[in-house]
Amino acid sequence: MSHVIEFSANGHPVDSRGNVAELPAELVEAARTARNVEVFTGAGMSKDSGLDTFRDAQTGIWSRVDPQAMASLSSWARDPEPILAWYLWRGTLCRRAEPNLGHRAIASWWGRSGVDLHITTQNIDDLHERAFDDHNEARPRIAHLHGSLFSYRCSICHKPARTPELPQEQVERATPTACSLCGNPVRPGVVWFGEPLPEKEWDQAETSMQQADLVVIVGTSGVVWPAAGLPNIVAERGVPIVEVSPQRSDLTDLATWSLRTTAAIGLPAIVQALGEE
C-alpha cells in the first residue's frame, strides 16, 4: 500500500494533524542513494507551465477538439489542413510556455554527482529539454513515447522533415509541405490513435525501468496504455517508486510513497531534501 503524503495549500508536506512536516526519511534516503533514477512523466508535469492536460474535464485540449478528428491517419488523409494548423498552434503555445520548477528540479537532480537519470515522457512538448538548456547541462536520455510537436516526417515514407514555421496567431487551416523524397504531405511526428509507439523510445523506456533503483512518476493518470504498464516492471522488482500527483491515479497502488501535490511543488521538495553535495 502506498504511503500518502499530503501537502498544505502553501506547498509544504503536512502530518495527519495538518502540521508542517518533513518528507519521510526512508523516501529521502532512497532518493539520496539512488544512482539510476527513472522519471516517468505525463501531462500533469507541464500543467504548472500553463499547458492544458489532455484529460482535464474543464480545460483539457481534447474537451474542445474531437480527438479522432485531430489524431488519426484517416482524418489526415481526408483533410490534413485543419489538423496541421491545430498542431502548429500547439507548438506555438508550447514555445510560449516556460519549464516550471518541477522541470528545473529534475535538471538539478541530473546534475548531482554519480546520478544517471533518464526521462520517459508521454508529453509531446519540449519543456524537459529546455529545462536542461536553461541549466547549461548536457541532457540525459529523454524518451518521448507519444512523439513530439517539433518532430515532423513524411506521412507515407516517414522521411524526417523540418518543423514548419510556427504561427503567431491561430489559423483554421495550414497547407502541409511536400516530402523532399516522395512528394507526399509532411505530418506532425506525434503518435495518433491506432499507431504503435516509436520502437526506439519504447526500448529505452523498458531498459531504464529494468535498470532503475528509483522511479519517480509525475503527473500521469496511468490510464493510457501501453505506457501505463511500464511502472509494473519496476514494481515487480521491488524498486522504490515515488508518485507526485494532486489526485489518486491508477498507478498509486504501485507507489511506495505518493505525494499529493503538483510537479512544481513535489519535485523541488524531493531535490531540496537531498541536501547540498
Poorest-pLDDT segment among 50-54, 106-110, 168-172, 233-237: 50-54
When pLDDT is cut at 50, 70 and 90, the band that residue 134 belongs to is low
Enumerate long-range contacts of 202-210, CB under 8 Å, 24 or more apart: 202/143, 202/145, 204/118, 204/120, 204/141, 204/143, 205/120, 205/143, 205/145, 205/230, 206/230, 206/233, 208/36, 208/38, 208/118, 208/120, 208/141, 208/143, 209/38, 209/120, 209/233, 209/234, 210/237
> Hey, what amino acid is at 96?
R
Non-local (6+) Cβ contacts of 221 within 8 A are 42, 55, 249, 250
Determine the pLDDT at residue 57.
46
Q: Which of 19-23, 62-66, 262-266 has the highest mean pLDDT?
A: 262-266
Instruction: Provide the sign of the torsion angle of the four alpha carbons 177, 180, 184, 189, taken in this order.
Output: negative
**Residue given cell 507507489 in the structure block:** 255
Determine the pLDDT at residue 26.
97
Determine the pLDDT at residue 69.
80
What integer best gives the mean pLDDT of the chain?
Answer: 92
Determine the pLDDT at residue 34.
97
All domains in the chain, ordered by first residue: 1-51+98-146+197-277 (3.40.50.1220), 52-96+147-190 (3.30.1600.10)
Kindly state the percentage of the chain with pLDDT values over 70: 93
146 catalytic residue (yes or no) = yes
Determine the pLDDT at residue 59.
53
Q: What is the pLDDT of residues 181-210, one digit of tens each?
A: 999 999 999 999 889 999 999 999 999 999
Mean local confidence (pLDDT), 216-235: 92
Between CA 248 and CA 166 the distance in angstroms is 36
Non-local (6+) Cβ contacts of 16 within 8 A are none
Closest alpha carbon to 43 in 63, 28, 24, 60:
60
118, 128, 144, 146: the active-site residue: 146
Q: What is the pLDDT of residues 51-80, one digit of tens each?
A: 976 555 445 665 677 777 888 999 999 999
Mean local confidence (pLDDT), 16-24: 90
Region of 158 on the Ramachandran plot (φ > 0 left; ψ -120 to 50 alpha; else beta): left
What pTM was computed for the model? Answer: 0.93
Determine the pLDDT at residue 161.
97
**Residue given cell 522519471 in the structure block:** 39
Check residue 215 and report its DSSP letter.
Answer: E
Q: With 80 as the cut, is the pLDDT of residue 252 above it?
A: yes
Q: What is the pLDDT of residues 135-150, one digit of tens each?
A: 655 778 999 999 999 9
**How is residue 15 written as a grid cell?**
502530518
Between CA 52 and CA 48 the distance in angstroms is 9
**How is residue 167 written as a grid cell?**
504561427
Determine the pLDDT at residue 54.
59
